[in-house]
Copies of this chain bind each other. A is one copy, B any other.
């Protein structure tokens, strides 16, 4: 028997989900919370195995609620429910500590199956969500690439100060702004940048920054 807490700002949906799940004896609903603050409050007296959490909530949304709950009760698993499937929300939810992510239109039997999968250490996701997750991963080719292929600033014989200057350049600062921030004269800043160009074999700020970025110095 898996004990569950429901968190949603919409009383109607709350009752709805509750009813849908009540016919399954694999799960028991411990409490229904009206929004994030109520959830945090209810968790002082109840200790469910997991939570079904709506993402879109006023005041404190599901992501923030998840973050706080995970901090206080790390062992409670959280499954996000959402009508939307915005990419950034998915990622945010994962970062906040959610272990599952379903769209609200899933059939009750599916939801129960997902609940069980989650309690067994899985990460149930609606098909569309799972795909989005993969897409996010696929876009992060950086991770998969070899760090070996990156060159260190030292391999270009850049001095400490020059690296510092280059960072400012990459931040989009002008000579004068760099000079101000590093307490040197604009002429000196320019000189440094000239030397950097020499070492990197480039001829403009843009190209210098491009080299820095390619090698992941910034």
Contacts and interface: CB of A to CB of B under 8 A. Distances in A.
Interface of A: 87-88, 91-92, 94-95, 99, 117, 120-128, 130-131, 133-134, 136-144, 147-150, 169-170, 172, 174, 204-207, 209-210, 213, 216
Given A121-B127, A127-B124, A172-B210, A134 B87 contact: no
Contacts of A95: 137-138, 141, 144
Given A95-B138, A123-B131, A207 B150 contact: no
Nearest to A206: B172
Oligomer copy total? 2
Given A95-B144, A144-B91, A206-B172, A133 B133 contact: yes
A205 B209 CA distance: 11
A137 to B, nearest CB: 5
Contacts of A120: 127
B207 A148 contact: no
B137 A127 contact: no
Nearest to A169: B206
Contacts of A99: 131, 134
